[in-house]
Amino acid sequence: MKKHYRVYYLLDPLTGEILYIGRTSRKIKERMKEHRKEKRLPRELLVGLCQRFTISRDSKNAETRAIKKHCPKFNRIISHRIR
């Protein structure tokens, strides 16, 4: 079975603000369990847009572009990664 990579957006359920953009090759439910354990993210989150890719590099590029465009407050941005 071919591996899939997902780029997902975590939203504030009250305002719809994009709080975090990430990518994973696992199921979104599994990744969300990890996010809920992290102390820096709010407890209540919605999963918004989720894009699926078959090539890891494409998912990484999509994640980087989305972070650059939306500047979510919970993403750690490394300046040399964003161009």
pLDDT tens for 24-57 read: 999 888 888 887 777 677 778 878 878 999 999 9
What is residue 32's predicted lDDT score, i.e. its pLDDT? 81
Percent of the chain residues topping a pLDDT of 70: 90
Q: Given pLDDT bands bounded at 50, 70 and 90, which one contains residue 9?
A: very high
- Residue 34 included in any domain: yes
The answer to whether residue 81 sits within a structural domain is: no
pTM beyond 0.75: the answer is: yes
Q: For position 79, what pLDDT does the model report?
A: 44
Nearest CA among 8, 54, 48, 41 for reference residue 27: 8
Strands 18-24 and 46-53 turn out to be: unpaired
Domain count, the chain: 1
Residue 34 tokens read as: 């990890």
Domain that holds residue 36: 5-70
Encoding tokens for residue 61?
A: 């590029």
Q: Tens digits of per-residue pLDDT, 49-71?
A: 789 999 999 999 999 999 999 99
